[in-house]
Amino acid sequence: MNDIPETDTMIHGDYHTKNVMLQNGEVLLIDMDTLSVGYPTFEFASMYLAFMGFGELDHQKTTDFMGLPYELAKEFFYRSMALYLGTDDKDKIQNVIDKGRIIGYTRIIRRTVRRIGLDNEEGKKMVDHYISELNELLDKIDTLTF
């Protein structure tokens, strides 16, 4: 993979609908402990996990966390990406999402191993799934930049 350039793009680090509040008609981001700057693909990785990744094997996990059905969370995420990227081109949007998925899957594999472990069926099933997805992406993606 190519190097990722340093950028001054704000990255929330945990951006999803539960961390967006409305106060006196003003939109506020909360849970700012991971706020930093960096390349947007890292933000997309976190967003992907919150909206879709954690619920890939069990859509109910997305509903329980986000308070939204999986399909609605997925639509929200894709529409957000289209707006951010300024395009409705599904291939371009998916390409950028796939770059974020690479980072996201490495994070969720580590998280699963640490929290659930590989010595039970759920942990092993999850890690196997994310490794399989990651391997498919690594065969077609050669850079995390866009």
Name the residue ranges covered by the structural domains of the chain: 10-140
CA angle at 6 for the pair 138 and 1, rounded to the nearest 5°: 20
What is the average pLDDT value for the chain, to the nearest integer?
A: 96
Over 90: is that where the pLDDT of 12 sits? yes
Q: How much is the pTM? A: 0.92
Cα 84 from Cα 97, distance rounded (Å): 12
Residue 23: its H or E element:
strand 20-23
pLDDT of residue 93: 98
pLDDT of residue 3: 86
Over the stretch 76-132, which tens digit does the pLDDT of each residue have? 999 999 999 999 999 999 999 999 999 999 999 999 999 999 999 999 999 999 999
